[in-house]
Amino acid sequence: MSDHTDERETFHHDPIGHAEARAGMTVGELADSYGEAGIGASDIHEAVDIYSEMLDDDVTTFFGLAGAMVPTGMRAIVSELIRDGHIDVLVTTGANCTHDSIEAIGGKHHHGEVTPEGRTEREHDETLRDEGVDRIYNVYLPQEHFALFENHLRDEVFSTLEDDGAVSIQRMTEELGRANSEVNEREDVPEDAGVLAAAYENDVPVYCPAFQDSVLGLQAWMYSQTSEFTVDALADMTDITDIAYEADSAGAMVVGGGVPKNYVLQTMLVSPDAYDYAVQLTMDPSNTGGLSGATLDEARSWGKLEKDARNVSVYADATITLPLVVAAARERHST
C-alpha cells in the first residue's frame, strides 16, 4: 500500500471525538460536547458558536420565525430574547402573530393526538371538525379562541387605526402588541403577554410580509370592507432596509423557511453590505431547489451574506434545535 500522506491537500488531522451525556451537564456543556462529534451534532455546535457571537451588542440581529413555532410552545423563548435585547428585528408569519395574540388574551393551545388508537387520521379530523377543534399536528386549538381573537382585533386594534389612512403592516403589529399587552394586564391573564407585546414594550419592529395568509389577514380584509381601515403592503420596505443599511454588523437567525426567511435575507440585496453571521434551523432539504431548504452558502451567491460570513444550516425539527441553540449560546454569552 502506498503512502499518500504527503499528497493530501484537503485532509487535515482532526480526529472525531465522542460526545458526552452525563448527569449534571449544562446545555452549554452538552453543545460543547457535540463539537467532538460529526454530522448534525457538529452543526449544532457551530450554530451555538455563531449565534453566541450574534448576541453581542454591536451586531444587529434579524430574527426570522416561520411555521407553527408559537402554538407548539416556542413563544416564551422568542419573547425573552426580545426583552433581553437579543432581537433587533423580528420577521414572522401572520399565523404566529395570531396564535401569540390568542394566548396573550386568555386562549390556550392544548396537547393533542395525530391519530388516536382505533381511528384513522381522517376519521379523527372529521370528529375534531364536528367538535370545533383545529389541529396543528399534535396540538389542538378550540375554535372559540378564534372568535375571541376576532373580537379583540375589531375592538382593540383595527378601530384604533382606521382613521390613520393606509397603515404599514409593522404599524398594525405594533398596535396589536400594544393591545395584547394592555388586555393581558387588564384581564389578569395567567399566560405571559407574549412576543408582540414584548416587541411593543421594547421598540422592536415586527414585520409580517405575508400577513394576509392567516386569520389575522382575513380579519383585516373583512374589517376593511366596512371601514376606512387599510394596509400598505410596501410601506415596511423602507424601514427594514434602512435598518440593514445602517447596521455596522448584522446577523440573521432564521427559524424555518418560507417568507420570513426570504424577507430577512433579501433585505441585504439593497444594502452595500451583507450579513456577517447567519444560522438557519430547518427541516427542508436543499436539493429540491426551494428557498426553505436552500443553504446559507447558496445565499452567499446572491450577495445576501458576506463572502467571509460565518454561517451554518442545521437540518432538524426547530422545536428541538431552537431551545438548544438559544440556551447554549446564552449560557456562553453570559460567561
- pLDDT by residue (tens digit) across 146-190? 999 999 999 999 999 999 999 999 999 999 999 999 999 999 999
Total number of domains constituting the chain: 1
123 located within any domain: yes
94 located within any domain: yes
Compare 255 and 38 and report the one with higher pLDDT: 255
CATH number of the CATH domain containing 114: 3.40.910.10
Q: Which residues, 6 or more positions from 2, have their beta carbon under 8 angstroms from its beta carbon? A: none
Q: Nine-digit cell at 9?
A: 491537500
58 located within any domain: yes
265-321 pLDDT per residue, tens: 999 999 999 999 999 999 988 888 888 889 999 999 999 999 999 999 999 999 999
Contact, 144 vs 110, CB < 8 A? Answer: no
- The percent of residues above 90 in pLDDT, for the chain, comes to 84
Give pLDDT, residue 154. Answer: 97
16 located within any domain: no
* Mean pLDDT of the 118-145 span: 95
* Mean pLDDT of the 12-19 span: 84
Parallel, antiparallel, or unpaired: how do β-strands 110-111 and 139-142 relate? Answer: antiparallel
203 located within any domain: yes
Cell 426567511 maps to which residue?
Answer: 261
Question: If you compute the radius of gyration of the chain from its CA atoms, what whole number of angstroms results?
Answer: 22
Secondary structure element (H or E) that encloses residue 89, with its range:
strand 89-92
19 located within any domain: no
135 located within any domain: yes
298-313 pLDDT per residue, tens: 999 999 999 999 999 9
Respond yes or no: is residue 307 known to be catalytic.
no
Q: Is 88's pLDDT higher than 80?
A: yes
How far out from the chain centre does Cα 147 lie?
Answer: 25
Give pLDDT, residue 15. Answer: 83
240 located within any domain: yes
* Mean pLDDT of the 207-230 span: 96
Per the structure, the complete domain to which residue 233 belongs is given by 27-334
- Average pLDDT score, the chain: 94
Q: Is 2's pLDDT higher than 60?
A: no
* Selected catalytic residue, list 108, 261, 304, 307: 304
| Alpha-carbon gap, residue 30 to 295, rounded angstroms | 25
Q: How far is CA 120 from CA 110, 113, 125, 271, in A?
A: 21, 11, 9, 52
Give pLDDT, residue 335. Answer: 74
46-60 pLDDT per residue, tens: 999 999 999 999 999
Give pLDDT, residue 5. Answer: 61
Give pLDDT, residue 87. Answer: 98
Q: Counting every residue, how long is the chain?
A: 335
DSSP 208: -
3-state helix, strand, coil in the chain (%, to 5): 50, 15, 35
For residue 310, what are the β-bridge partners?
277
Q: Is 3's pLDDT higher than 80?
A: no
